[in-house]
Homo-oligomer: A and B are copies of this chain.
Amino acid sequence: MTERVQLLGISNAIVDVLAHVDEALLARIDAPRGSMTLIDEHKAREVYGLMGPATEVSGGSVANTVANFASLGGRAAYIGRVKADQLGDIFVHDMRSLGVDVRLPPAADGLPTARSYILITPDGQRTMQTYLGACTQLAVSNITPETVGDPEILLVEGYLWDLPEGPALIEKAMAIAHDRGARIALSLSDSMCVDRHRAEFTRAVEGHVDIVFADDDEVMSLFETADFAAVERKAAELGKLFVMTRSEKGSVIVEGEVHIRQEAIQVPRVVDSTGAGDAYTAGFLHGLANGKALDACARFATECATAVIQQVGARIEKGRFSP
């Protein structure tokens, strides 16, 4: 369990349930278009009952990044809680089949494996209703020197702060990894999540966090500004590595005095933008773990994101980029 890996991800372990819906359904379940809402079991049953036929596929933001990192040839490990039910088996299978070292066995009891109902409206927009189930029972006791091991990079996601023991388990994981010389990366998850936990995220970024992954909305929410130039100044002052994705505007990397602008790659058609950020993060970390310069990391990350938006689904197929 303590084999040296390049990347350890800790995050919500979720199976995505994707279906095409009409706008009327969003109104009926009171879901703002493009939002990610946490729902309880009762609401989950209601939403699923109203959805059409669906497709199930392993998901979760940082889980997608870890899977992609492994598909790119990286050595990866993962901590996330699923139950020993069929969806949990699917999640763990999909990780292990990519060579990811899954550090927690599926739990014998407790809540069922999490699922995210992803409602795709005719305009291609995705609205997520997420029932966290087993994820909410991820515990401080699951984070030990054995499960954390000795990763080169630890990646956590902002969504973890929504869990009852989330803040405490992240602190413990960061402390263990930091003591062992790992770089700590934080993905800000989404702007509503940043709104919910701005103070904690700020403390984390001023503390052990070395690398922040965020999109426009998330980083503007973090710094409470609508001005991207102000974002760049504040990021530079903090001296940490900020990796900020801006969709068709490309990405911006800021680390103190260093500012790198990476153009987006033009594509004939965006097939499905899901997972673009997660794939970008995987590519960037893969570059870092292999000692590449920041501009090379950004370029490779952009190629990974570009591949993912030209396919259906959030995960890069193994062998898509030769390791």
Contacts and interface: CB of A to CB of B under 8 A. Distances in A.
Contacts of A58: 53
A58 B56 CA distance: 9
A15 to B, nearest CB: 8
Contact of A54 (B51, B87, B93): B93
A55 interface: yes
A318 interface: yes
Given A86-B87, A87-B86, A67 B53 contact: yes
A85 B84 CA distance: 12
Contacts of A317: 20
Contacts of A55: 55-57, 313
A315 interface: yes
A119 interface: no
Nearest to A88: B86
Contact of A312 (B48, B51, B85, B312): B312
Nearest to A318: B52
Contact of A53 (B54, B87, B94): B94
A85 B67 CA distance: 26
Interface in A39-74: 48-49, 51-58, 67
A125 to B, nearest CB: 17
A112 interface: yes
Contacts of A289: none
A144 interface: no
A98 B312 contact: no
Contacts of A54: 90, 93-94
B48 A93 contact: yes
A202 interface: no
A247 interface: no
A97 B56 contact: no
Interface string A13-57: 000000010000000000000000000000000001101111111
A315 B53 contact: yes
Contact of A98 (B48, B52, B56, B313): B52
Nearest to A94: B53
A90 B318 contact: no
A78 to B, nearest CB: 13
A48 B48 CA distance: 27
Given A86-B86, A86-B112, A87-B86, A97 B57 contact: no
Contacts of A67: 53
15 contacts: A52-B318, A53-B58, A53-B67, A53-B98, A54-B93, A55-B57, A55-B313, A56-B56, A56-B90, A85-B85, A85-B86, A86-B86, A86-B87, A86-B112, A312-B312
Given A55-B56, A55-B313, A86-B86, 4 more contacts: A53-B94, A53-B97, A55-B57, A85-B86
